[in-house]
Copies of this chain bind each other. A is one copy, B any other.
Amino acid sequence: MGVMRMGYAHVRVTDLAEAKAHYANTMGLYETHAEDGRVYYKGWDEWDHHSVVLEEGGVGVVKFGWKVRYSSDLDEIERRAQAFGVTVERMSRGENPEIGDGIRFTTPSEHVFEVYHEATLIGTEVGTHNPDAFPRHLVGVGVPGLDHALITAEDVKGMERFLTEVFDFYATERVQTSLEDDADYIGTWMTSNNQIHQLAVIGGPQGKLHHFAFKLGDWSEVGHAADLFSMDDVPIDVGPTRHGITRGQTVYFFDPSGNRNEVFAGGYLAYPDRPVHVWTPEQLGKGIFYHARELNDRFTTVLT
């Protein structure tokens, strides 16, 4: 049962034309739909109708969509969210284009989550019959799909409990004030499956977005993406480098509106029987940026 993946990240951008140039021409997302000042995108290896939604006006995240394996998961998650004390509303087919019925609620961290079971499968260029390994003519970075997001919350430990109890997520890595049982949580990296993280939460203001990330295949693709960001004047925040946390290989950068994006490769397969990696403050720099081993101010303060 349960959440299969983050199905979409719906974010605000200050200028839709600039944003489209970034997400289509540099990132190589495929535009699948546009209406009412919103543009819908998917990566080349995604089957569902969209995984990224841009909406003009401001910055930051509007909501995240989560796709569940069974329609019965919707009821179960509704029940659990209500048991946690969260108000849940029903979402109807079509409130999001090509997305089925579902539920919607605001998390304790003040982020809007939508949970759904159905999305129109619009397929990929390579298809399913003797498919090529990737489309022959990718654009720019050519990301295959959405990977994960990092959000901020005032109560990280509470959000870990929420995601555990409502979504059956488990932590793969965590930053704690110490190794003691009563330690505070500075950050938590969580998943429901083998993906090293689907959603991470770090301490900060309610309702904010630190970044959302696209998958890449390996370190060579990460380096190549960084080269293209220079050519396209995309501001790089940090990288290419490796994370200690998740071991992922990464570039952080900003879209033209100032929303932080990431390209992310590597990491290891998560399993629920694997002990949580715990990072403590004296090595937090190394946990976040394995090579530089120190945080920069921008990384910790720029949120949208």
Contact = CB atoms under 8 A, between A and B. Distances in A.
A45 interface: yes
A247 B133 contact: yes
A183 interface: no
Contacts of A266: 217-218
Contacts of A301: none
A108 interface: no
Contact of A130 (B130, B269, B283): B283
State the oligomeric state as a number of copies: 4
A214 interface: no
A291 B236 contact: yes
A193 B2 CA distance: 12
Interface stretch (A11-19, A34-42, A155-163, A225-233): A225-233
Interface string A250-293: 01000000000000011011011111111110110011001111
Contacts of A227: 133-134, 242, 290-291
Nearest to A239: B291
Contact of A129 (B133, B231, B278): B278
Contacts of A45: 268
